Structure 1
Amino acid sequence: MAVPVPVLRLPRGPDGCSRGFSPSSPRFRALLGGPWGARGVQGVRAALRQRYLWGLAAARGRPTRFCLRAGVGVDAFFGAADVDAVALQVDALRTPLGVQAAALLRCHDVLAYSFLLG
């Protein structure tokens, strides 16, 4: 059985809608002025983005379970994701209504997805 992972939610920002640190806060300035600096943060973000893209490339053709809004679960073979993370292309999408040979799933509708063994 999979172990549940807690989700860390950052407090609301000073504008009321963003999450994270205010650019004027001492913690934010310490992060940018610390040992990483602005270029170090950019390098770390680039490395994380590269790992994410390599993970997507390795997932091509793997059986995947998608949990969608309204509690709907569907199975498909992972195909690809667009650069802006707006849609996921899948093959052999099995829904409660039938099987679609190919489909696009909007990332906005996907709550979670996991790769199945086998």
Structure 2
Amino acid sequence: MPVPVGVLRLPRGPDGCSRGFSPTSPRFQALLGGSAVAQGVRAALRQRYLRGLAAARGRPARFCLRAGVRVDAVFGAADVEAVAFQVDALRTPLGVQAAALLRCTDVLAFSFLLN
């Protein structure tokens, strides 16, 4: 037996027959993402961020977590949505973990250590 799936209907537009936002509304304009110049700036910043993460792979780092906990690890990677950092050789007050994921919501700051 098929499982019923709910249908989401957008509110009727200002003309009464279309569904969605009016092209002149601020919400519609925000969904478009603004001007091409702003999109270019965001793309450049994103590229710099990703190149910085790529250059940081394998470098020792210190993470300051909530509740004042400081841990040292070798930086591995960050996921696309910046939800978690993957680290190796995580040194915590309880011992060393070979590999771990640190949630970005728990990380207050991090810095790279000199070799």
> For 1:79-90, what aligned pairs fall within 5 Å after superposition?
79-90=76-87
Is 1:72 aligned to residue 66 of structure 2? no
CA drift at 1:52: 0.1
Structure 2 spans left out of the alignment, 5+ residues: 1-25, 27-33
CA drift at 1:70: 0.2
Aligned residues: 84
Structure-1-length-normalised TM-score: 0.69
CA drift at 1:73: 0.1
Take 1:77 and 1:47, find their aligned partners in 2: how far apart are those partners? 27
Over 6 Å off, 4+ runs: none
Is 1:92 aligned to residue 93 of structure 2? no
Amino acid at match of 2:102: L
CA drift at 1:46: 0.3
The Cα RMSD (Å) is 1.4
Is 1:114 aligned to residue 108 of structure 2? no
* CA deviation string 1:66-105 (max 9, x = no partner): 0000000000000000001000000000000000000000
Structure 1 spans left out of the alignment, 5+ residues: 1-22, 24-36
Q: For residue 102 of structure 1, what is the aligned residue in structure 2? A: 99
